[in-house]
Structure 1
């Protein structure tokens, strides 16, 4: 089984999106939880951008005991100096150096030539090494829109200067899986196996996870992901979806992450509390309805065996199954509740209760099973705890 490395970017790319700001202390708490979950690298932030990110980096670097920690930097000696000052020359400190991967960015963002782009990479990587950095990651921004010969030139320059890892970013969510896989394969073919190759995919076309998977199939070693997929614009590869995919499809794909998936929802709750993030209804793994149903056809089967409509087990992700009673529920759920109350479920009673509690219910209202069970118990004059008559 191939072990896939996980680089968590929640505290940097995730945080830099509007509305997601966190204090250094909140970042530290999340970093410790992510380490407990088992991620390989926690990105602390961008120390050169603010005193808050500098402090968060210091706290995280001093507190993590197993996971690596990464800092984000432009091709700037000052950025790199501040990152080294904040996180030190610990071998677990990965210095990310962000370079310009497309002619679009060279021309319209940076206003520099390709030759100048190569020179600043060489200088930045060598400067980081001179300060004691031993793990240096060339993060190629907008790599998916860059010409492959240019991407190879960037990577070759960085590796020759001492880079130990390369991240290829689909910064605008531009790529489809075939395109991104071909990009990864191009770079994998021109670097040695000891160079860690990572994906960093955005979700503008809803393909961040699919592109990351294509990258892994093409030879990437690591995926950069964020909790709940938070990040610039539509976000990044969601950590929980990656973990679910490589956990439940590990045999077919020959890959796994080794993450403690049962702790992921705890991390999500911490993140949601920190940035006031509402839990969406239909989000994979973390959604309110991810493990909930009110449809009678589904419920009738799930009462026999949850596997009928539940491929991912909720307890695997710190969640619980929820069968809700609403306008689309059926008689099976009533029979189930009556059995719990030790009340004979004759057709006439079930029909009357169905009309009263399901058929006449407004469409948007639902009850948890225990709530409806208590209401039925009161209506029928029985005690829920024992099933005895009132």
Structure 2
């Protein structure tokens, strides 16, 4: 096999657009390092024009990540393209990814442009992008609801202007595998230029993103755009792990190869899940906790006789069986620093001291600290942006029982002032929420989401708590991890409510 499918990862761009996800630059760098270790060919680092934070993240990734081609997204306008070029200045290998909508509904309702104006914009802006980089990808947004011959026109025009990759996205997850195969087959023949690569980008609104992506590959596309755990807008993108492992397990059907180091898949999945706060469902293909578990007696009997009776992939192939350095309460800074570096998690000497203290404390409760524990501790101490700078959680306490209404007491330092209050509720979480809200004088707030997820197994294992709070025309979130679930809850609630408190104080000031 000499035919290779390039893996274009958009976890940090389209994936981060998942509702409720907001990664810090440090968290994006950690994920980018793991994606490089995974072996993706293209790493779409973000949309620089979207915000200063996105620009900074793309710039830092371009400067620090080696291996993949670093890609930045831009609409078909000069300002977007120039901002993308600036963000990519320090990349070893750079690509600008420009896009514009080509479906009638998008051109009429969103762009307010005629087809002729869209074609003119494509020609102009692809040429502008080529002034900055040699590698330009052009995407026809909502391609699967576009008129086929208009796609041909747009594609030919983009190639003549200098595009090296043409992407035909199923932006709203509308198409079906047979339809998509026929569309890509037609476009491949109609455009027929050996200089360019055709690409697919599929969304999962009907649950067909992976199937459609594979159909595009069958039709001749040699780039596929995917995201770890399938995260992304609405129902998400095609899942990297599912596409890659299908190509791996069914080479007899697809006859292509890829550059992914599949043993890194599971760790990439866990890191993205932890840092985004989006848990992986247990029955998720390839990376769900039940993917390689067998409970049925018939299945267990078959597995004992021959694993291949019920396993078409081995857990070791995707990294479930990796040997890990064991950390515990006796581990030194050198071992801790080494493991953090292996995980692609950077920390300053003072931050390592904080992490080591957390590791030692957790080590008193459990015999070994696994990667998931360490990643959760790193995120809390280093990765996430501490949005509250003027408030500090001093003390919390919850009292509950089968015959008592839960009551919570909290003490919070605001500047030089100590604020104390209590609250009661239907459960200990509700009581803590009420106590914090009262202590910070927040009257119009609502706890809209509370998510508790185990990070590592065992009675002393870490658990992650993520809360979302609405109030004062703002949505905010807090996240914390601890072996004590209520402590993690208190820290997460304080983080979210303290941010709202400071927002209100700034408005008043």
Common fold, TM-score beyond 0.5?
A: yes
What is the match of residue 119 of structure 1? 120
Deviations 1:50-99 (A, max 9, x none): 11110111111111222101111111110001011110285721111111
Deviations 1:107-142 (A, max 9, x none): 111111001101111111111223x22111111110
Give the alignment of 1:1-390 within 5 angstroms. 1=1, 2-88=3-89, 92-130=93-131, 132-189=132-189, 190-319=191-320
Secondary structure of 1:138's match?
Answer: strand
Deviations 1:285-307 (A, max 9, x none): 11111011211111122122221
Q: Could you state the TM-score of these two structures normalised by the residue count of structure 2? A: 0.61
Quote how far apart the aligned CAs of 1:191 are.
3.5
Q: Distance in 1 between matches of 2:73 and 2:105?
A: 22
Q: Distance in 2 between matches of 1:286 and 1:148?
A: 37
Q: Distance in 1 between matches of 2:19 and 2:233?
A: 8
Q: Distance in 2 between matches of 1:197 and 1:92?
A: 20
Conserved 8 A contact 2:70-2:95: yes
Q: Could you state the TM-score of these two structures normalised by the residue count of structure 1? A: 0.80
Corresponding pairs, count: 322
Secondary structure of 2:180's match?
Answer: helix
Deviations 1:285-340 (A, max 9, x none): 1111101121111112212222111111111111259xxxxxxxxxxxxxxxxxxx
Q: Distance in 1 between matches of 2:72 and 2:31?
A: 16
Q: Distance in 2 between matches of 1:159 and 1:99?
A: 15
Runs of 4+ in structure 1 deviating by more than 3 angstroms, as ranges, are: none
* Structure showing greater relative contact order (alpha-carbon pairs closer than 8 Å, 6 or more residues apart): 1
Secondary structure of 1:109's match?
Answer: helix
Quote how far apart the aligned CAs of 1:258 are.
2.7
Secondary structure of 1:140's match?
Answer: strand
Quote how far apart the aligned CAs of 1:30 are.
1.1
Where does the alignment leave 5 or more consecutive residues of structure 1 unmatched? 322-369, 372-390
Q: Distance in 2 between matches of 1:177 and 1:119?
A: 31
Quote how far apart the aligned CAs of 1:279 are.
2.4
Q: Distance in 1 between matches of 2:145 and 2:65?
A: 36
What is the match of residue 484 of structure 2? none
Q: Which has the higher strand share?
A: 2
